[in-house]
Amino acid sequence: MWIDWERIGEVGTVVTRKPGEPIYLRVHMVALGLAIVASLAIPHLYELFFGPISLGARLISGLIIAVVAGIVLYRTYQTSARNEP
Write down the domain spans for the chain.
Answer: 23-85
Rounded Cα distance, 37 and 41, in Å: 6
Which of 39 and 12 is assigned the larger pLDDT? 39
The confidence score (pLDDT) of residue 48 equals 93
Evaluate if pTM is beyond 0.75: no
Question: pLDDT tens for residues 24-74?
Answer: 667 778 888 888 898 889 999 999 999 899 999 999 999 999 899 888 888
In one-letter notation, the amino acid at residue 18 is K
- Per DSSP, the residues of the chain read -EE-GGGTTSTT-EEPPPTT-B---HHHHHHHHHHHHHHHHHHHHHHHHH----HHHHHHHHHHHHHHHHHHHHHHHTTTTPBP-
Mean pLDDT of 11-36: 70
